């Protein structure tokens, strides 16, 4: 079984108070305002989409715009992959988010958390060395809420209402923690049967 196939067999997200960002991918127009809002929340008046914890992938054929961010997996393989003890990357059981101790993170030269996420989930972890050489992963804008709770700014700014920040309802739960390639294949096959038999890939940068 390929890694891509294995990731589609993830358990359905459990019911209860657990909340996460649950997109409706068909609505995404690729405007990338979510990336802008993410960077502004975490770094102030900086315009650099490479620092965004949500990434919009343009996939071909289409093109299709697929926004990807951490799904706050309940089994969080990224935390298990961290070689530092105690782990640099942890799961907050009360806020249902991933947290990173950026001062202790070994950065891109390690990258074990990103490898685990890419192999088993959506590939939502990246690095931006040398200035920000630590795991960049969505924390659902922890602290942005009026009482210090998570309050994802991407969901607020999106003009197409792509993101639901909710318990596992609404949105598209069956695509929970899927990588962009798999989501694009499913969308392409739905709207143009037979497309998924061809290679779905990232849109060439020059286009």
Q: What is the pLDDT of residue 6?
A: 41
Q: What is the pLDDT of residue 198?
A: 65
- Map out the domains of the chain as residue ranges: 3-202
pLDDT for residue 207 is more than 50: no
What number is the average pLDDT over the span 39-53?
95
* pLDDT single digits (tens) 122-153: 999 999 999 999 999 999 999 888 988 899 99
- Tokens 């947290």 map to which residue? 99
d(CA 170, CA 90): 27
Decide: 77 and 11 in contact? Cβ < 8 Å.
no
The tokens of 175 are what?
A: 């695509």
191 band by pLDDT with thresholds 50, 70 and 90? confident
d(CA 56, CA 54): 7
d(CA 178, CA 122): 5
What number is the average pLDDT over the span 184-200?
75
173 band by pLDDT with thresholds 50, 70 and 90? low
Measured over the CA atoms of residue 200, residue 72, residue 9 and residue 125, the dihedral's sign is positive
Of 6-10, 28-32, 100-104, the poorest mean pLDDT is in 6-10
45 band by pLDDT with thresholds 50, 70 and 90? very high
């Amino acid at each position: 079984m390929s890694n891509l196939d294995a990731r589609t067999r993830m358990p359905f997200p459990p019911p209860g108070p657990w909340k996460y960002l649950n997109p409706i991918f068909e609505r995404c127009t690729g405007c990338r305002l979510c990336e802008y809002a993410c960077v502004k929340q975490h770094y102030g008046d900086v315009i650099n989409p490479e620092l965004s914890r949500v990434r919009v992938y343009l996939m071909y054929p289409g093109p299709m715009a697929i926004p990807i961010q951490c799904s706050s997996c309940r089994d969080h393989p990224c935390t298990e992959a961290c070689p530092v003890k105690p782990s640099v990357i942890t799961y907050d059981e009360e806020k249902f988010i991933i947290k990173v101790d950026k001062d202790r993170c070994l950065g891109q030269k390690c990258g074990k958390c990103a490898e685990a996420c890419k192999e088993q989930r959506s590939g939502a972890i990246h690095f931006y060395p040398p200035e920000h050489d630590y795991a960049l992963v969505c924390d659902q804008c922890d602290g942005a809420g009026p009482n210090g709770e998570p309050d994802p700014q991407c969901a607020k700014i999106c003009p197409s209402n792509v993101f639901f920040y909710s318990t596992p309802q609404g949105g598209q739960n069956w695509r929970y923690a899927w990588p962009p390639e798999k989501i694009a294949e499913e969308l392409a096959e739905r709207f143009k049967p037979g497309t998924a038999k061809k290679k779905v890939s990232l849109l060439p940068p020059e286009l």
